[in-house]
């Protein structure tokens, strides 16, 4: 059915590419292009022999002209951006220039947060909007008109969270509620990789996210809190009792706009004490900084140096045991009565590893990346503009989750988070 250019070949992309090859009726031809071509070639060597025809290329996706040249030579129906959030805008620009649909798994954030023009816009947004995360949707929403006029679709954030969590919200609104009052997104990783400290996905993105202030949406505005200052315990199905902490998370921003009348949206993620102790220590000594320092005549960025020291997230697969449990708890009204609803997925690290050679964090993101791409390629989701997952019909996406490895479960009597 289609031809897809996939940019990035890290942990998440590897799963998405495995899944595209399993779904060869839709993904007939793919090109894997990334900064380090040898990784693309190694994955092609592993997957060649199936029905999907695979090609590889080298590309620096920070360079719009390079991406344009690659798109023009390969002529894909869709570009899947599974590189890093830093490349979102350059790849969107290239898609617009070439007339191709776009999708990604995380919203834009700049690599250099000291750049004066960006910093001025950021400080204005912090004041006006009331949250201080470095990432937000404004940069990509600014492309809405351009994509509409070009008759192209950009699907933003089709991973698990963001991504599946928003499909859960759209599903709850369509089938379970007349009005949703509160949404709690709970992201639990009960996996153990046996290292004293490692991150489950790109360390730079992960550590920046969890060391930043938390925030939630309440009664029409943001409430910001110091990092890790709201803690709750929750007993997760098939995982057990875990500590979880309130974080800022990107899908809160779009859900606040797209779920009419919602009064509160919070996001919680589980962390063990050892992870938090390591992170605080690294932060205190300056290792999480993104500001370059000069070391013996060479400029280095502390968090990038740390990334080089930490285990590669892609290498955690064989070691990680246990399960993830990610889902949304809703309260609201149906037919005039109060109602609660919980929809979640449980995913087993070792089962993921056996299937695609990756742990569950990459798996739970890579599968929805393939599904989002499938929605666009098949024309199931088809409206010009820039959209997040909850803005489309959730039913075909929810059905595909069951089919492609992330089946969901529901409960009508969940324990609520206070």
Interface residues toward ligand NDP, by CB under 6 A: 7-13, 34-36, 39, 59-62, 82-85, 87, 105-106, 157, 159-163, 201-202, 205, 313, 365
Helix then strand then coil, % of the chain, to nearest 5: 40, 30, 30
- Residue 175: count of CB within 10 angstroms of its CB: 12
* CA dihedral of residues 187, 190, 196, 200 (deg, nearest 10): -50
Q: What distance in Å separates the CA atoms of residue 92 and residue 385, rounded to the nearest whole number?
A: 12
For the bound state, the minimum distance from the C-beta of residue 303 to ligand NDP, rounded and expressed in Å, comes to 13
For the bound state, the minimum distance from the C-beta of residue 368 to ligand NDP, rounded and expressed in Å, comes to 7
Q: Which is nearer to ligand NDP, 150 or 239 (CB)?
A: 239
Q: Which is nearer to ligand NDP, 179 or 197 (CB)?
A: 197
Q: Which is nearer to ligand NDP, 35 or 266 (CB)?
A: 35
For the bound state, the minimum distance from the C-beta of residue 65 to ligand NDP, rounded and expressed in Å, comes to 13
For the bound state, the minimum distance from the C-beta of residue 31 to ligand NDP, rounded and expressed in Å, comes to 13
- Residue 146's contacts (CB-CB under 8 Å, 6 or more residues apart) are 96
For the bound state, the minimum distance from the C-beta of residue 12 to ligand NDP, rounded and expressed in Å, comes to 3
Nearest to 34 by CA among 1, 11, 50, 53: 11
Q: What distance in Å separates the CA atoms of residue 220 and residue 257, rounded to the nearest whole number?
A: 10
Q: Which is nearer to ligand NDP, 59 or 288 (CB)?
A: 59
Nearest to 15 by CA among 287, 258, 316, 241: 316
Contact (CB, 8 A) for 341 and 410: yes
For the bound state, the minimum distance from the C-beta of residue 298 to ligand NDP, rounded and expressed in Å, comes to 19
Q: Which is nearer to ligand NDP, 34 or 331 (CB)?
A: 34
For the bound state, the minimum distance from the C-beta of residue 202 to ligand NDP, rounded and expressed in Å, comes to 4
Q: Which is nearer to ligand NDP, 205 or 247 (CB)?
A: 205
Q: Which is nearer to ligand NDP, 199 or 340 (CB)?
A: 199
- The residue whose two tokens read 């590309």 is 59
Q: What distance in Å separates the CA atoms of residue 72 and residue 99, rounded to the nearest whole number?
A: 10
Q: What distance in Å separates the CA atoms of residue 96 and residue 93, rounded to the nearest whole number?
A: 5
Q: Which residue is nearest to ligand NDP (CB)?
A: 10
Q: Sign of the CA dihedral 226, 156, 31, 21?
A: positive
């Amino acid at each position: 059915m289609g031809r897809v250019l996939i940019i990035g070949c890290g942990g998440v992309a590897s799963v998405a590419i495995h899944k595209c090859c399993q779904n060869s009726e839709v993904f007939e031809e793919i090109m894997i292009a990334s900064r380090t071509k040898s990784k693309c070639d190694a994955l092609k060597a592993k997957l060649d022999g199936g029905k999907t025809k695979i090609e590889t290329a080298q590309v620096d996706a920070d360079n719009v002209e390079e991406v344009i040249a690659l798109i023009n030579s390969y002529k894909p129906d869709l570009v899947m951006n599974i590189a890093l959030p830093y490349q979102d805008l350059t790849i969107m620009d290239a898609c617009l220039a070439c007339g191709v649909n776009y999708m990604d798994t995380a919203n834009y954030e700049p690599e250099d947060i000291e750049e004066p023009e960006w910093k001025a816009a950021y400080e204005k947004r912090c004041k006006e909007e009331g949250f201080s995360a470095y990432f937000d949707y404004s940069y990509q929403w600014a492309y809405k008109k351009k994509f509409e006029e070009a008759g192209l679709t950009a699907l933003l954030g089709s991973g698990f969270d963001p991504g599946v969590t928003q499909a859960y919200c759209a599903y709850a609104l369509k089938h379970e509620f007349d009005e949703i009052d509160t949404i709690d997104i709970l992201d639990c990783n009960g996996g153990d990789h046996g290292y004293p400290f490692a991150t489950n996905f790109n360390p730079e993105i992960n550590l920046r996210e969890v060391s930043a202030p938390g925030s939630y949406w309440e009664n029409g505005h943001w409430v910001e809190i110091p990092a890790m200052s709201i803690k709750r315990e929750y007993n997760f199905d098939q995982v057990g009792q875990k500590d979880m902490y309130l974080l800022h998370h990107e899908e809160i921003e779009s859900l606040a706009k797209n779920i009419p009348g919602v009064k509160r949206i919070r996001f919680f993620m589980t962390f063990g004490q050892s992870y938090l102790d390591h992170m605080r220590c690294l932060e205190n000594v300056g290792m999480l900084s993104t500001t370059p320092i000069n070391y013996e005549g060479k400029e280095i960025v502390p968090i990038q140096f740390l990334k080089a020291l930490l285990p590669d997230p892609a290498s955690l697969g064989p070691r990680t045991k246990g399960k993830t449990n990610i889902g949304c708890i809703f309260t609201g009204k149906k037919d005039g009565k109060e109602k609660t609803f919980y929809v979640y997925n449980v995913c087993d690290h070792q089962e993921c590893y056996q299937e695609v050679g990756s742990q569950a964090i990459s798996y739970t993101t890579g599968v929805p990346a393939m599904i989002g791409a499938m929605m666009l390629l098949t024309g199931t989701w088809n409206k010009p503009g820039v959209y997040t997952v909850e803005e489309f019909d959730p039913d075909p996406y929810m059905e595909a989750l069951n089919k492609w490895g992330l089946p969901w479960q529901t409960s009508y009597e969940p324990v609520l988070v206070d």
